[in-house]
Amino acid sequence: MSKLLATTPKQDGFRMPAEHEPHSEVWMAWPERTDNWRDGAKPAQRAFVEVATQIRVTTPVTMLVSADQYDNAVSRLPDNIRVLEVSTDDSWMRDIGASYVVNDKGERRGVDWEFNAWGGFVDGLYWPWKRDDQVAQKMCEITGDSRYRAPIVLEGGSIHVDGEGTLYTTEECLLHASRNPDLTKEVLSDILSEHLNIEKIIWLPHGLYNDETNGHVDNILHVVKPGEVVLTWCDDENDPQYAISREAYDCLTRQTDAKGRKIVVHKLPMPGPLFMEEDEASGIDIAAGMEREAGERLAASYANYLITNHQIVFPLLDERYDMDVKHKLETLYPNYKVNGVNAREILLGGGNIHCISQQVPAV
């Protein structure tokens, strides 16, 4: 039974495990917003089915879906994927789902962050967002885990942890005026420490260029293992990402992690640059908040992959680099299956494979 706790994970001896630690399942949410997904969301739904099917090779998958789309989702998804009728406003499970914490006694709890659609009334992508903000609570009730309601606005894609006391994030996102404008960096750091039980925060200055999430860390960096990360890299001096990537590299290599290790940085090539095509934009309903126009630069990154139970599910985005990235990931993750999924349709909605998935750690 899930209950709301008045303490914090740190007080109770719980920590957020790294993504490379074992998972009991991965959660996703079915896409259907016609102002974000083109052509009635049908191409996106096919992509979500492919991602869910691939994850299911090693890990059980739960898909959340609205009442209106329930029959459609059930008919399109494999029988071995659990489908639950749960209302959402969109389908970015990483950002709306609970961030789970565990202890060394085999217990698990959820952290329920406040969600405001990446910016609230300052620069959020849609309103209302109430159903999205309820997902983490419902998730904990379904998994049967008690939860902590954290006192800050935060999306799961804006943080990465190594499971050994280090958290990676970006100043661009967490210190943005649309998240927690009344809190200082120090107060935010204390809240993160209490709710994730981390000892050190590595603050990258910026996330990926033109990322409408205000620079989520999961779209520029991924933690391979403690003391080791991958970083989106750009070699074109005329591209805005060039300076951002070097700034991040310098930030990472000049610091140590919570255990005093120098951080090893592996460079992943940046796909593209990729842009929204005319036919892609024409299939999307016009709405305030989201830039969905032909020529809009897409925030494409190979770092936006999922690690789950000795498998890497990564986005195929650019034929020039897809296989190089696959080989690189195979080298970084020996004894892991590395599987690519065509992910442009997910990218068109503003994120990628990591953004649409949220793991529940095994205990």
Mean pLDDT of 313-326: 98
How many Å apart are CA 4 and CA 110, to the nearest integer? Answer: 10
0.85 exceeded by pTM: yes
Please list, in sequence order, all residues whose beta carbon lies within 8 angstroms of the beta carbon of residue 264, skipping any fewer than 6 positions away. 227, 228, 229
Q: Are 241 and 298 in contact (CB under 8 A)?
A: no
Alpha carbon of 199 to those of 20, 160, 165, 190, 223: distances in Å?
Answer: 19, 13, 5, 10, 16
How many Å apart are CA 145 and CA 234, to the nearest integer? Answer: 42
Interval 79-124: pLDDT, tens: 999 999 999 999 999 999 999 999 999 999 999 999 999 999 999 9
Q: Sketch the domain layout of the chain as residue ranges.
A: 4-361
140 part of the active site: no
How many Å apart are CA 55 and CA 310, to the nearest integer? Answer: 11
Exposure string of 216-232, with b = 16+ CB inside 10 Å and e = fewer, is: bbbbbbbbbebbbbbbb
Nearest CA to 87 among 129, 45, 42, 132? Answer: 132
pLDDT band at residue 2 using 50, 70 and 90 as cut-offs: confident
Instruction: Check 173, 234, 251, 355 and give the catalytic one.
Output: 355
How many Å apart are CA 281 and CA 257, to the nearest integer? Answer: 42
Please list, in sequence order, all residues whose beta carbon lies within 8 angstroms of the beta carbon of residue 242, skipping any fewer than 6 positions away. 234, 235, 236
Interval 268-286: pLDDT, tens: 999 999 999 999 999 999 8
Fold of 4-361: L-arginine/glycine Amidinotransferase; Chain A (3.75.10)
- Token pair 């492919």 is found at 50
Q: Are 204 and 169 in contact (CB under 8 A)?
A: yes
pLDDT band at residue 292 using 50, 70 and 90 as cut-offs: confident
Exposure string of 277-315, with b = 16+ CB inside 10 Å and e = fewer, is: eeebbebbeeeebbebeeebbbbbbbbbbbbbbebbbbb
